[in-house]
Structure 1
Amino acid sequence: MDTTVLVVGGGATGVGVARDLAMRGVDVTLVERGGLGSGTSGRSHGLLHSGARYAEADPQGARECIAENRIIRDIAPACVRDSGGLFVSLESDDPAYYEAKRDACREHDIPVEELSPEAARERVPDLADDAERVFEVPDGVVYPSRLVAATGADAREHGARIATGSPLLDFEVEGGRVVAAEVGGELDARIEPEYVVNAAGAWAGECAALAGLDVEMRPTQGVMVGVDYPRLGPVLNRCRDPDDGDIVIPHDDRVVLGTTSVAIDDPDEMVEDPDEVERTIRECAAMLPSVADVERLDTYWGVRPLYAPDEDSRGGERGISRGFFLLDGSDGGAKGGSDAGNGGGPGTDDGVENFLSVVGGKLTTHRLMAEAATDRVCAALGVDAKCRTAEEPLVAGNEADAVDRLVAEFDAQGPADADVVGPADD
C-alpha cells in the first residue's frame, strides 16, 4: 500500500502528528504495535503541567507548558480535570528555591497566588504541619487514555489511517531514502511512504536503527503508586529540586504518587523494584502524611523517552528540562553507518533524507511537538498549509462517554487513568 507519510508510534505525539498532517490534507498512515497510548503516554502520572515545574530552570519549556495547558483545556475538556496545583515548601526545604520558582512563574506569565499555610490547609486539610510556604498555579490532571483516543479519532475523522496492533518490522532503504516499510500484525502490509515520522518515544532508537540511523535515547523508568484517598482537590508538588516522590496527583477516589527516575537499558525491560515504591510513598507522605497509611490500590511503572545528548549536556541533573528535538535523518548528527541496525541498506552513510525523528518532550506539549514535526514534513513535501490543531476541538473531546467508547475501540486504556476512564453505559 502507498501513503504519503508513515507515522510510527501511537502515543500522544504520534497521534498528534497524524492529526495535524491529516488536517493539512496530507495522506497519512499511523502504525502502533499495541493499542494507542500503550507505551509512555498511558503510563504517565497524568499531570497537565502549568510550566511551574520548569519555570526557574527552563523558561522556554515553562512558556510552552502554560500555552499548551490552555490549548488542551480548550480542545479536549473531557480529557482534563481542572484541579489546580499547589507548590509546597516544607520547613526543611530551601526558601530561596521557593522564591526563585515563584518569581520565575510570574516572569513567564504563569498565574501564581501565594497562600498562607492556614489557607492551604483549608484546601488540603491533611497537608503536612511543617508546610511553611505555598503558592497555587494552574496545574491540572490530564487523562491520557482519553486524550490519545480522542486525538486518534480526530486524525481518522480527517482521513488518517490508524492501525493498532501493527508493529513495524523493518525498513527498506535505497538511495538514501526509505522506500518501504514492512508492518506485521493486524495490518500485515508492505507500505511505500514518501516520508517517515519516527514518533516511537522511548523506542525511537530501535525504530531509527531499522533505517540505519543512530538516535541515542536514554530511557529512565519511574514508578506511580495509586492509593485510596478520595479527598484531595489540587495537585501537590514539593517545592524543591526535582527528586523522588515529589508529586501527588488527584483522581476521583484515589491519588497517584510519583515518581522515581532510574536509568534502564531497554524500555521493554523495566525492573519493578519495591524500594522505588516505598521511597515514593515515604517522600510523598512528607507533604501529605495520611497517604502513608491508606490502602495501596495499584502500582505501575512508566518510561521517559529522554534524548541522550540532552541528558549529557545537563550533567545528568534530573528534571531540569524536558524539551523536545527534531532529528532529520539526512543530518549527520542523527545518522549512523550502514551497519547501524537492521535495514541499513545502501545510502545510509549519507543519511536518510525522508526520515524525521521527534524525541523527548512531555505529554502536556505533545500537540506542540506534533506541530513542529508536521511543519518540517510539510516543508519537505512542498505542502503549503497552516496548523489548525490549537483552534479546532477534538472530535468528541467534550463528551466523556463518547471518548471512553473511543478508548475501548483503540485499545487505549492505560493504568494512569483506569479508575476514571471506563466503558460508557449503552
Structure 2
Amino acid sequence: MDRVEALVIGGGVTGTGIARDLAMRGFDTMLVEAGDFSAGATGANHGMLHSGARYAVNDPISARECAGESAVLRRIARYCIEDTGGLFIATRQDDPTYLDRFLPACASAGVTAREIGVKEARELEPNLAQDIQAAVEVPDASIDPFFLTLGNVSSARRHGAVVFNHCPLQTLRRKNGAFEAIVGLGEERRTIRSEIIINAGGAWADQITSMVGAHIPLCVDKGSMVVLNGRLVNRLVNRLRPPSDGDILVPHRTGTILGTTSSPGVPKDIRATANEVRYLLNEAMVIVPTIVESRAVRAYAGVRPLLGTGSSGREASRAFQVIDHAADDIDGMISVVGGKLTTFRLMAEKAADLASIKLGRKGSCRTAVEEIVPYDSEASSDLTEEAARLRHGGAWKDVLSERSEPAWAGQGCGCEAVSRTEMAYFAASPDVRDIGDLMRRTRAGMGYCQASLCAVAMISTLGQGVGELQAYYGERWKGTEPVLFGEQLRQEAFKAHLLKVYGIDPSREAGQ
C-alpha cells in the first residue's frame, strides 16, 4: 500500500499545478490521471492566455484573476507562450456603445487596453475586414496547454511528487480517518492511503466526489473549435462585443484556432460537428473575410466545468472555487472547479493553502516566482534545434542528445519540424504508451497534413504495429470528419490512398 499526505486526482493543467505547488511546499504528494496528461479539457481549449479583457464587462472577478495570472505566467512559463498581443475589433453589426463600457471595465479590472485607429489596426492585421468600426489593443497571448501541463509534471517530480498517467481511479472511500483509493496502473491494482484528497477532475469532478457521498453542482458546457492551416492573423483577434460564438481567432504554432461555441455538453465522447464548423467559419468571416480561402484541417471540442446549474454556459462565471467538503461531513476532501487555463496557478495556490491547513503545517507558495522550466536563451540557427527549444525550453538539449545515433537521423514530422531524435527521446519515457501520447509531447501529427506522413515514423519509433496505427487514426477521425469539404476533402482522400498500403482505414473508429 502506498501512503501519502495528499492525493491529487486529475492530470490536467490544474491538477498538475496543484501537485507542483504541494511538492514545492514539501508535502508527500501523489497524482493520478486516468488518461494522458492534458488529454481532456486542458488539451481541448483555445490555446489563449487571457489578458482578462474578454470578461471585463460581464465577469469582472474572472477578468481581474486573468489579468494578474497572465503576468505571472509570462514570467514562469515563457517557453510555452508566444506574446502575440491582441486586438478587439468592432464591426458594423456590433453595438457601438459596447466600447464605452469595455474600456472603463478593462481599467477597473487591471487590464491594459488602448483604443487605436482603424487604419493602424489594418496595418497590424492586413486580413481584417474593410468595414471595421473600432479597435482596441490588449495584452492577450498564445499558450501551448500541452507543454504547460508537461512542465508542471516535470516540476512536480523534481520536487518529489509521484505522478502517474494512465492510472484511472477505480474506487475511493473513507477509512479510519483517512482516504483509501484503488487505482489501475497497467495490469496492476494499487491501493493508496492518503490523509487528504484534492479533486481536480474537471467535468468529472462530481463523479469523483459521489464516490464518498458528496455532490458538486456543475454546469458542463461544450465548446467547439476549428483549426485552420496557416496563421491568418498576427495577434489574437476578438470581436468587440459580449462573448459569443465564433468571435476569437488565435494564431497558434503553425495554424490558427477559431472558436468557440457554447452549448450544453456531457463529458463522454465529446466532439465537434460539421454544422458547428460551418457556423464558426461563417461567423469569423465577418472580421476576417479571407478565411474563406483557408483550409479547415481539424475540428475539436472540449467541456468547460463551470460551477452552478442556474446559468447557461455563456452566462456562467469563469471564476473558480475551492470547495472544502468538510461542509458535507467529508473532512479532508477538497475540490477545485471552474476557472480557466490562465488562472490554473492561482487555483492551485488556493487549493494548496487549504490543504496545508488540513495537514497541519504551513508551507509557503513559491509557484509565482519559480520558473516551471528553465529557459535556455542560447540562440540556434538550426531549424530543428530552434523548434525543439520553442517546444521544450531549457530541456531542448537533452531532447536532442541522441541525434548522433544513425537510427534517429532525419525528420519525423515535416509540418511541425519534429526530428526523429525528438520522437525517440519521448518514446523512451514510461509516460508514453501510444502515438497520441507521443503527439502531445512533440506536436508531430498536429500540422497541416494531420499525420498523413508522420504517423508511420511515430509508430516505428514506439516499436508498435498496424493495430496501434489504426487505433490512432480511428481516434483522430472524430476531428477529421467535420471538416471533410473543399481542399481538406482532397487532403483526406490523399491520406486514405497512402494508408491503403498498410491496410488502414482512417475513417474506422475504435470498436467499428
Task: Give the TM-score normalised by structure 1.
Answer: 0.88
1:59 positional shift: 2.2
1:218 aligns to what SS in structure 2? strand
1:380 aligns to what SS in structure 2? helix
1:328 lines up with 2:324 in the alignment: yes
Give, as a single letter, the amino acid of the residue that structure 1 aligns with 2:292: A
1:234 lines up with 2:235 in the alignment: yes
> Which residue matches 1:138?
139
> Which residue matches 1:374?
352
1:394 lines up with 2:372 in the alignment: yes
1:303 lines up with 2:281 in the alignment: no
Give, as a single letter, the amino acid of the residue that structure 2 aligns with 1:291: I
Give, as a single letter, the amino acid of the residue that structure 1 aligns with 2:337: V
Question: Mind listing any 5+ residue stretches in structure 2 that lack a counterpart?
Answer: 377-388, 400-424, 449-453, 458-512
The 1-side partners of 2:317 and 2:50 are apart by 13
1:131 aligns to what SS in structure 2? coil
1:110 aligns to what SS in structure 2? coil
1:407 positional shift: 7.5
Residues 229, 99 of structure 1: CA spacing in aligned structure 2 closer, same or farther, 3 A cutoff?
Answer: farther
The 2-side partners of 1:222 and 1:287 are apart by 20
1:2-401 to 2 correspondence within 5 Å? 2-174=3-175, 177-186=177-186, 188-264=189-265, 266-309=266-309, 312=310, 315-316=311-312, 318=314, 321-332=317-328, 351-396=329-374, 399-401=389-391
Asked if the contact 1:43/1:416 (under 8 Å) is kept, the reply is: no
1:286 aligns to what SS in structure 2? coil
Asked if the contact 1:149/1:407 (under 8 Å) is kept, the reply is: no
Residues 160, 415 of structure 1: CA spacing in aligned structure 2 closer, same or farther, 3 A cutoff?
Answer: closer
1:306 aligns to what SS in structure 2? strand
Asked if the contact 1:88/1:133 (under 8 Å) is kept, the reply is: yes
The 1-side partners of 2:441 and 2:294 are apart by 19
2:194 aligns to what SS in structure 1? strand
Identity of aligned residues (%): 37
Give, as a single letter, the amino acid of the residue that structure 1 aligns with 2:171: D
1:109 positional shift: 2.4
Looking at CA atoms only, which structure, 1 or 2, has the larger radius of gyration? 2
Asked if the contact 1:42/1:144 (under 8 Å) is kept, the reply is: yes
2:215 aligns to what SS in structure 1? coil
The 2-side partners of 1:224 and 1:416 are apart by 21
Asked if the contact 1:145/1:407 (under 8 Å) is kept, the reply is: no
Residues 152, 330 of structure 1: CA spacing in aligned structure 2 closer, same or farther, 3 A cutoff?
Answer: same
Residues 252, 20 of structure 1: CA spacing in aligned structure 2 closer, same or farther, 3 A cutoff?
Answer: closer
Asked if the contact 2:285/2:291 (under 8 Å) is kept, the reply is: yes
The 1-side partners of 2:169 and 2:41 are apart by 17
1:325 aligns to what SS in structure 2? strand
Give, as a single letter, the amino acid of the residue that structure 2 aligns with 1:253: T
Paired residues in the alignment total 400
1:401 positional shift: 4.8
Cα-to-partner distance string for 1:312-366 (whole Å, 9 max, x where unaligned): 1xx426156201111112214xxxxxxxxxxxxxxxxxx2111111001000000
1:300 positional shift: 1.0
Give, as a single letter, the amino acid of the residue that structure 2 aligns with 1:15: T
Asked if the contact 1:33/1:167 (under 8 Å) is kept, the reply is: yes
The 2-side partners of 1:305 and 1:401 are apart by 28
1:44 positional shift: 0.5
The 1-side partners of 2:426 and 2:65 are apart by 27
The 1-side partners of 2:441 and 2:102 are apart by 31
Give, as a single letter, the amino acid of the residue that structure 2 aligns with 1:316: S
The 1-side partners of 2:13 and 2:442 are apart by 14
Residues 401, 270 of structure 1: CA spacing in aligned structure 2 closer, same or farther, 3 A cutoff?
Answer: closer
The 2-side partners of 1:292 and 1:401 are apart by 30
The 2-side partners of 1:191 and 1:48 are apart by 35
Give, as a single letter, the amino acid of the residue that structure 2 aligns with 1:384: K
Cα-to-partner distance string for 1:203-253 (whole Å, 9 max, x where unaligned): 101111112211122211111101123342100001112111010000243
More helix by proportion, 1 or 2?
2
1:108 positional shift: 2.5
Give, as a single letter, the amino acid of the residue that structure 2 aligns with 1:102: L
Residues 24, 189 of structure 1: CA spacing in aligned structure 2 closer, same or farther, 3 A cutoff?
Answer: same
The 1-side partners of 2:441 and 2:279 are apart by 20
The 2-side partners of 1:328 and 1:109 are apart by 29
1:414 positional shift: 4.7
Moved more, 145-154 or 272-281: 272-281
Asked if the contact 2:226/2:296 (under 8 Å) is kept, the reply is: yes
The 1-side partners of 2:14 and 2:230 are apart by 31
The 2-side partners of 1:275 and 1:415 are apart by 31
Cα-to-partner distance string for 1:37-90 (whole Å, 9 max, x where unaligned): 111101101110000011122222211111111111111111101000000111
1:18 positional shift: 0.3
Higher relative contact order (CA 8 A, sep 6+): 1
Cα-to-partner distance string for 1:128-160 (whole Å, 9 max, x where unaligned): 112111000000001001100001100110000
1:415 positional shift: 11
Residues 201, 52 of structure 1: CA spacing in aligned structure 2 closer, same or farther, 3 A cutoff?
Answer: same
The 2-side partners of 1:50 and 1:298 are apart by 26
The 1-side partners of 2:316 and 2:31 are apart by 32
2:133 aligns to what SS in structure 1? strand
Asked if the contact 2:218/2:306 (under 8 Å) is kept, the reply is: yes
1:172 positional shift: 2.0
Residues 252, 31 of structure 1: CA spacing in aligned structure 2 closer, same or farther, 3 A cutoff?
Answer: closer
Asked if the contact 2:271/2:300 (under 8 Å) is kept, the reply is: no
1:293 positional shift: 2.7
Asked if the contact 1:117/1:132 (under 8 Å) is kept, the reply is: yes
The 1-side partners of 2:332 and 2:146 are apart by 31
Give, as a single letter, the amino acid of the residue that structure 2 aligns with 1:243: S
1:192 positional shift: 0.3
